[in-house]
Structure 1
Amino acid sequence: MSSSWEDAPISPWSRFGDGEWLLDIRTAGRRADQNRFSWAAPMPECSRISGHDHSHLIRAAKHFLWSMHFDPPRGRKRSSATSLQQKAMLLRPIIGWMAGEGLSRFAEIDPAAVERFCTWLRRRPSRAGHDSIRPATVTNYLLAIKDLYRQRSKLADAPLIDPLPLETTYEAAGHTRASKGSIPFIPDRQAIAILNEALRWIEKHGETIVMAEAIRLEARERGLATGVFRQASYHVRRALRAARLSDPSGERLDGAYAARQAAVHLVEACYIVIAGFVGMRVSEILSMKVGAIEYRPIGETGVDQAYVVARLFKTVDDPDGRVERWTAPAPVARAVDLLERLSAPLRAASGREELFLVKNTQYGEIVPVTHMHIAWRINDFARHVGVPDHDGKPWQFSTHQFRKTFARFVARRDRTQLLGLADHFKHASVAMTARGYVGSDFDLHSLINHEARAETAAALDRLLAARQLGGKMGERIVARNARFRGRAGEQVRRDYVAFILEETDLRIHACDYGWCVFQQETSRCGGELEPDEAGRAPAVCLSCANMVIEAKHGSYWRDRRERNAALLPCANPMTAAVLNEAIGQCERVLAQIGDDHGQE
């Protein structure tokens, strides 16, 4: 007779005691096979435990996952179906290693066993193509073992001794800030190139491509109606040649393949524009259905604002996700309109409502696009439109990079918008926002903090190597940075930047006309933790000890000088005095940074 926990449902179709789990995970973009998990793993050839003991470990692992779902450790959320599947994927190799070690019970895991397990893990090749398994992956395994220990009072078999008594799971895995890594944002050159191309496809060529695809499908139907398959291709070619349409590169859309490929790339361009200009997660974008654009009035202005309507899955208990709305600029509304028209035939044939659909080439079934598929297609679009290389090789785009890049562009221009960004990103913890975090959860906090550190490191590196800088802080830096300049100072400069980032909370804040090496005690704008945008202005910053101006800012000061000079001939004496003072400020700055246009 099965115990009560084994009979508990893990989904409408499976129980915790089953040998195979069919999980209820409905996150958009997920493959169907990722919702199954089989416990029927064979015993390793080098096993030193019996088949009975092996079955006991599998049963104990299921019991542990049951406890994480129904009775998690204090302060932890119940494990979702997705988390259960991920934890099961970790427990299966742990059980295999235990069999090889001769450990027949989880209770036999102690600190020495964990140390041997870590050594074994680091010798395993990485499936991602790396020489060894990453510290982040080792951390995940150790977290599973630590959670077994935390749940010991609720389980029949669990570690009885703290497996990591003297260090955290991160320390034991070697998961430091240096080794952690992160999903990168897209470099500016590549981000601008791919977004510009995607916009061009949508705004200038979207109608043409949709028209070509409609002509192709209509002509194909006419050809198939004749009963001769070859007639379909003939009708398509004739109809497209008569239409005399061209793709974005100027090539004629005069055949079925050319029209279909253009339509495929247009779908990719639509995804890139939505991801790049809204910053939604891939699961949220792929969940979009017909009618995804909704217009709502902005107060009593008489103006309507467009919103993307999709489903949020992260942190949501409902497997179907929760309907949410994201502010959508005009190009995004245009992209969604094109997607609705392009997907109409597939939706009609399948009865589905999603905007991202594809015909499975193996079975001919129309199915939603997956995370993996759209990631591959983004890179295919980048190759097709000729996005420039980064450091001599093609940049490998991933879906989450667009979300990080969106946040980066917002954060680098105006840090006061970060709370709005947190709301736009649908992050969960409002209380954390109220306590002053940058964003509304650690995901956004780390994302923005990573960008701030990267921006500070790049700026520091340039400033320390500069021979001419403007602003009061700039003058001080130039007077003292001789040892950091040139090739001889490269390593010294890198070491110093690393020291500043690790050992201090110094951050350099950008604006159009310079950098603020922020220090509260000398701040003229009145900022406490960072520059106060309300009190910040060129004249204020020039009198501030925190200000640095480099050659890249020269265009701002030239433009400011010219605008003031243009007003001077018609100005009264009092206004002329103010204008001349502003012009003088500009000329002094341009002289400091060695701008060729500094003096007329």
Structure 2
Amino acid sequence: MDPGLHPTMFGQPSSVRGLCADERDALIISMRRVDGVWVIASRYRDDVWWILGATTNTSKSNTKLDFTAVPEPFKGVTKEMIYRFMRRGRDGHTRPGLSQLHKTLINAKFFLEHVRGLGITSLSGVTTLVCTSYVQACKELRTGLGPEKRRGGGAALTAGTLYRRLGAVEAIHELSQHTNDPMPQHPWPDSSADHLSGAGKARQGNRNKTPLMPNEVFTALFLRAWSIVQDAGRLLELRDEMDKVGEECKGFHKQYVPQRKNLVLEKLGWTGGLRKLKIDLNEIRTACYIVVASLSGCRNHELAFLRSNAYYSSEDDDGERYWWMRSKSTKTGEGDTEWLIPEAAVAALKVIDRWAAPYQAMLHEEIEKYRAVDPSDLRIAEAQEHVGAVFVGVDLKKRKLVRTFSVHPWNNSLKAFARACGLDWDLSSHQFRRKFANYAARSQFGDLRYLREHFKHWSQDMTLGYAMNESQEMSLYLDIEEELDEIKESVVAQWLNDAEPLAGGYGNNIVNWRSREENITLFKSRDHMIRSIAQSTAIRSNGHAWCTADDNACVGNDLDRTRCGDGCNNAVIGRRHAATYQGLYDQLKELENCEDIGEGGRERVRRDLDRCRSVLRSLGHDPVGAIE
């Protein structure tokens, strides 16, 4: 059963049309359990509806539907529409979640304000001309100037934002048919929000909105985060000493306590005072987040669900130890889920467990205070949602309550951490999942260049890895496969670039094939050609070539590396490999002059020199000159 859905709520009508005011206003919107007893959180009559069941990384302000912001003439009908939306969803769709409810109400409000500005006070007075004028008004809006302005500087609404605003108008039309004030016509009978906003074209041109963190950015972030995790024990011991001082100074003047703490810190060898210690302690939380997110591929809400002692280990038949991390995932409805993690992530989890302990004590104190006054206080259940969580913080604006860190403050903390690393990169929490998927894909692709030990298990067969633990998050594997497909497509796109020199037997065949005029006629477009070749060709990197063989049995992958440059029908060698062949060529030239390798050895060296020379010339390089 969904949180907030008591059995008595199932018998409530799916719309309020035809109900008298008292029956309508008494309808239950949400309920929650407080120590096993159901308590009503919101009724229809309330101007603010609290919606339950959100992930713990959702800020409280985003868990409410506030109708006070809706223009007064439309507040009643908006409640009717949102109630219907909550109960039944839209035609052909499942019931909406909290985020969709919240966004629909906000975007509906923009349209209703536009309608009210035209002097219209009912949905029955909304015509297609009114809706068309709203489309034009949205397209003329400019943002980034404080209050929205219709003309002048600033940026226009993005296609996605425009789609959500226009989509809300379509929702109003559909949902209002179940009210006493229906919108008479579809807002744009011969078009759609998708077409008018251009969002469909934008989605086709942007397959993955999440930017891929550059390697140098990730390296700097991870190295600093890991150094903080390793030094965390010292800082946490200082925090414990400060807690002892605080206990000893109870009852003293509030200005004396920090002075006393600073004196103790100075004696313990800490420079920077109490303020610097607090800043560094908060950085531990960010550092632990970066390490765990980087090495697990978890989403922000999955890390928010982490509880103390979330890790355990298992061994396979060969005695190989595997570490696992337990949490929950709501993105695909998987519920309780586990992730394979390296020991570095376990170290970060142990640190954050210790870091969060005092905050958990504060949570328990908060709950007991509520209980002592009113055992049915809804705030008890709200606080209990965060008990045991490790990525928490104190909300200074709300009576210093301890709550799970939500997405917005996380992104602010991560951006501050990036700046402290000297990075000019717009860092956000969701970028770590894609970076992890990219790493794992490159590991399977054979091109993982650093942090190799942390990802050793990802280079194994994924199906076998998943079989070891049926609770693993399957969608992570799909993300990795998608990232692998993208890597392969980028490689094929480079191969098919007429300006790209290629060597190797397969590479020479590609050069000859791409010069033919008829090859594109086999495919709908160049993009279709790239995807088709990438999907149908086995591609992996062995460091000195791309190998397209169906297996890895070729000696050119390891024992006889120059064989890839001797016309091997499975090898493609590009400019990125030129430095490798130049290095081989230089080393072989030195070896050629060694007297103790024998004539047979010199023949082998001459053969390999010829192979390297041929590759370098095919790539447009003089084998004698250096390659930068």
Question: Which interval holds the TM-score relative to the shorter structure?
Answer: 0.7 to 0.9
2:623 and 2:273 map into 1 onto residues whose CA distance is: 55
Give the equivalent residue in structure 2 for 1:382.
Answer: 418
The counterpart of 1:184, out of the listed 206, 211, 218, is: 211
Q: Deviations over 1:285-332 (max 9, x none)?
A: 12222122233x24434444222222223244xxxx933211121111
Q: In the alignment, does 2:280 pair up with 1:262?
A: yes
* Equivalent position to 1:401, from 416, 428, 431: 431
Cα pair 1:241 1:253 within 8 Å, conserved: yes
Tell me what 1:372 maps to: 408
Between the aligned partners of 1:79 and 1:348, the Cα distance in structure 2 is: 36
Deviations 1:515-563, CA, capped at 9 Å, x for gaps = 76xxxxxx9635xxxxx77889575795338824114453378469969
Out of 267, 277, 280, which is 2:298 matched to? 280
Out of 48, 54, 74, the position equivalent to 1:26 is 54
Whether contact under 8 Å (1:561, 1:583) holds in the other structure is no
Q: How has the CA–CA distance of structure 1 residues 548 and 9 changed in structure 2, closer, same or farther, with 3 Å as cutoff?
A: farther
Distance 1:359 1:578, change over 3 A: same
Distance across 1 between alignment mates of 2:124 and 2:595: 88
Residue among 20, 26, 29 paired with 1:10: 29
Task: Report if the CA contact (8 A) 1:551-1:594 is conserved.
Answer: no
Which amino acid counterpart does residue 525 of structure 1 have in structure 2?
A
Are residue 305 (structure 1) and residue 306 (structure 2) matched? Answer: no
Are the aligned partners of 2:564 and 2:571 in contact in 1 as well (CA < 8 Å)?
A: no
**What displacement does 1:478 show?**
7.8
Decide which of 132, 135, 140 is 2:164's aligned counterpart: 140
Aligned counterparts of 1:513 and 1:360: Cα–Cα separation in 2: 50
Give the whole-Å Cα distance in 2 for the aligned partners of 1:195 and 1:456. 31
CA deviation after TM superposition for structure 1 residue 108, in Å: 5.5
Is there any run of 5+ residues in structure 1 with no aligned partner, and where?
44-50, 245-251, 388-393, 429-437, 483-498, 517-522, 527-531
Deviation at 1:20, TM superposition (A): 1.8
Q: 1:86 aligns with which of 103, 106, 115?
A: 103
Shift of 1:336: 0.9
Does the alignment pair 1:69 with 2:97? no
In structure 2, the residue matched to 1:345 is 358
Q: Take 1:356 and 1:454, find their aligned partners in 2: how far apart are those partners?
A: 37
Q: Note the alpha carbon deviations across 1:353-411, whole angstroms, 9 max, x for none.
A: 22122233343333332211111111111222323xxxxxx111111111122122223
Equivalence for 2:504? 471
RMSD, aligned CA: 4.6
Other-structure match for 2:376: none
Contact residue 159 and residue 202 of structure 2 kept, 8 A: no
- TM-aligned CA deviation for residue 173 of structure 1: 0.5
Instruction: Specify the alignment match of 1:426 in structure 2.
Output: 473
Alignment-derived partner of residue 357 in structure 1: 392
Give the structure 2 partner of residue 327 of structure 1: 340
1:271 corresponding residue in structure 2: 289
Determine whether 1:236 maps to 2:272: no
Is the 2:144–2:155 Cα contact (8 Å) retained in structure 1?
no
Please state whether the residue corresponding to 1:359 is helix, strand or coil: strand
3-state SS of paired residue (2:279) = helix
Please name the residue that 2:311 is paired with: 293
Say yes or no: does 1:511 pair with 2:538: no
| Change over 3 Å in CA distance of 1:505–1:305 after alignment to 2 | closer
1:109-120 matches, within 5 Å, as 111-120=128-137
How many residues are treated as equivalent by the alignment?
Answer: 528
**5 Å matches for 1:496-535?**
500-501=526-527, 505=531, 511-513=541-543, 525=549
Q: 1:162 to 1:267 in 2, by over 3 A?
A: same
Give the residue type in structure 2 aligned to 1:260.
K
Q: Distance in 2 between matches of 1:110 and 1:419?
A: 56
> Using a 3 Å threshold, how does the CA distance of structure 1 residues 574 and 78 change in structure 2: closer, same or farther?
farther
The answer on whether the counterparts of 1:561 and 1:582 sit within 8 Å (CA) in structure 2 is no
Shift of 1:273: 1.0
Q: Contact 1:515/1:548 (CA < 8 Å) preserved in 2?
A: yes
Moved more, 105-114 or 447-456: 447-456
Q: Does 1:214 align with 2:240?
A: yes
CA drift of 1:136 comes to 0.3
Shift of 1:190: 1.0
Give the alignment partner of residue 197 of structure 2, picking from 173, 178, 194.
Answer: 173
Instruction: Tell me: CA distance 1:8–1:502, structure 2 relative to 1, closer, same or farther (3 Å).
Output: farther
Distance 1:446 1:167, change over 3 A: farther
Partner of 2:226: 199
Per the alignment, residue 390 of structure 1 pairs with: none
Residues 365 and 178 of structure 1: CA distance in aligned 2, closer, same or farther (over 3 Å) = closer
Contact between 2:176 and 2:182, CA under 8 Å: does it hold in 1?
yes
Question: 1:29-69, CA deviations, whole angstroms, 9 ceiling, x for partnerless residues?
Answer: 222122222212364xxxxxxx6xx2xx4333333333333
For residue 185 of structure 1, what is the amino acid of its counterpart? L
Is 2:578–2:616's contact at 8 Å kept on the other side of the alignment?
A: no
Task: Give the conservation status (yes or no) of the 8 Å contact 1:512–1:556.
Answer: no
Tell me if structure 1 keeps the 8 A contact 2:30–2:52. yes
Cα distance between partner residues in 2 of 1:448 and 1:188? 16
Deviation at 1:580, TM superposition (A): 7.8
The correspondence of residues 87-102 of structure 1 with structure 2, limited to 5 A, is 87-102=104-119
1:454-469 maps to which residues of 2 (within 5 A)? 459=494, 465=499, 469=502
Instruction: Report if the CA contact (8 A) 1:28-1:286 is conserved.
Output: yes
- 1:524–1:258 CA distance, 2 compared to 1 (3 A): closer
What amino acid is the match of 1:340? D
1:97/1:226 Cα in 2 relative to 1: closer, same or farther (>3 Å)? closer
Task: Provide closer, same or farther for how the CA distance between residues 291 and 202 of structure 1 changes in structure 2, counting only shifts above 3 A.
Answer: same
Tell me, yes or no, if the aligned pair for 1:136 and 1:175 is still in contact at 8 Å.
yes
Tell me, what secondary structure is at the counterpart of 1:14?
Answer: strand
Q: Which amino acid aligns with 2:278?
A: R
Letter in 2 for 1:376: N
| Equivalent AA in structure 2 for residue 426 of structure 1 | E
Q: What SS class does the counterpart of residue 199 from structure 2 fall into?
A: coil
Contact 1:464–1:477 (Cα < 8 Å) also in 2: no
Can you give the 5+ residue segments of structure 2 that lack an aligned partner in the other structure?
A: 1-19, 32-40, 147-153, 365-386, 447-457, 516-524
Name the structure 2 match of 1:496. none
Superimposed CA distance per residue, residues 572-600 of structure 1 (whole angstroms, 9 cap, x where no aligned partner): 99999999866754453244336677799
How far, CA to CA, are the matches of 1:594 and 1:503 in structure 2?
A: 27
Residues 121 and 375 (structure 1 numbering): CA distance in 2 closer, same or farther, change over 3 Å? same
Instruction: Provide the C-alpha distance between the structure 2 equivalents of 1:448 and 1:168, rounded to a whole number of angstroms.
Output: 35
Q: Name the CA distance, whole Å, in 2 between partners of 1:581 and 1:314.
A: 56
Secondary structure in 2 matching 1:40: helix
Q: 1:18 to 1:271 in 2, by over 3 A?
A: same
**Contact 2:84–2:178 at 8 Å: present in 1 too?**
yes
What's the CA shift for 1:228? 5.2
Contact 1:126 1:134 in 2 (8 A): no
> For residues 426-445 of structure 1, what are the structure 2 equivalents within 5 Å?
426=473, 440=478
Q: Which residue of the partner structure matches residue 375 of structure 2?
A: none
1:90/1:225 Cα in 2 relative to 1: closer, same or farther (>3 Å)?
closer
Q: Helix, strand or coil for the counterpart of 1:171?
A: helix
Change (3 A) 1:524 1:323: closer
Cα pair 1:25 1:82 within 8 Å, conserved: no
